[in-house]
A and B are shown apart, each in its own frame.
Chain A
Amino acid sequence: DIQMTQSPSSLSASVGDRVTITCRASQSINNYLNWYQQKPGKAPKVLIHAASSLQSGVPSRFSGSGSVTDFTLTISSLQPEDSATYYCQQSYSTPPTFGQGTKVEIK
């Protein structure tokens, strides 16, 4: 199975800050990398697919980059509603696997 490792596990930032979360795959996954946002008590929601494609309806402050094994989710200007846990997921091979999550808190 492909292991997905996110860093950091948690972070605290102020409104307006630029936030970066990284995700590393244990082997090449080309661009088969998705990012999800999950708020407490809610289902995950896709933000970015294919490493850098912004899902329809998602604010443009969210962006994704990377390829092969190293990927990044960036929030250009953190907003209060962005407080959530973020997961990366590889869809390159079965089983699809998720990172352990990054909890983003607002200072």
Chain B
Amino acid sequence: QVLLVESGGGLVKPGGSLRLSCAASGFNLSDYSMSWVRQAPGKGLEWLSYITSTGTITSYADSVKGRFTISRDNAKNSLQLQMNGLRGEDTAVYYCAREITIFGELISNYFDPWGQGTLVTVSS
């Protein structure tokens, strides 16, 4: 069974740091690019960051660039998100998601599966 499980969320003060982890099982993490996506309470989905299968290429949303760092440990089947300089507007459920790319008659690129999410609350 393909599964992603996030951990590391919690309550942190503004300006603080938190490190999220995403444990993958049921597949080889090293075969896939991965992303982090968040959802503020009652709001929509916001993509945050992406890392290629080998970790050589990363990309960030402008809202977190310079504050968040994505990384991975393929040997441990694990993805991380280091979050520094946290702000109130970073309060959200954070999801990790596997990127699927299919080359065929149509090219598909989508997120599947998603983890269950971990809640990060930034408040004094």
Interface residues on A, range: 20 to 34
Stretch at the interface among A10-18, A19-27, A69-77, A90-98: A90-98
Known: A43-B95, A44-B111, A45-B114. A100 touches B44 (CB 8 A): yes
Stretch at the interface among B7-15, B72-80, B81-89, B102-110: B102-110
Contact A91 B113 (CB under 8 A): no
How many angstroms between the C-alpha atoms of A53 and B35 in the bound complex?
22
The distance from the CB of B32 to the nearest CB of chain A, in whole angstroms, is: 14
Contact B108 A53 (CB under 8 A): yes
Which of chain A's residues has its CB closest to B111's CB?
A46
How many angstroms between the C-alpha atoms of A51 and B109 in the bound complex?
11
Contact B44 A95 (CB under 8 A): no
A43's contact among B46, B109, B117, by CB below 8 Å, is which? Answer: B117
Beyond A43-B117, A50-B107, list 10 extra A-B contacts (CB 8 Å): A32-B109, A34-B108, A46-B111, A49-B100, A52-B106, A55-B112, A89-B45, A91-B109, A96-B35, A98-B47
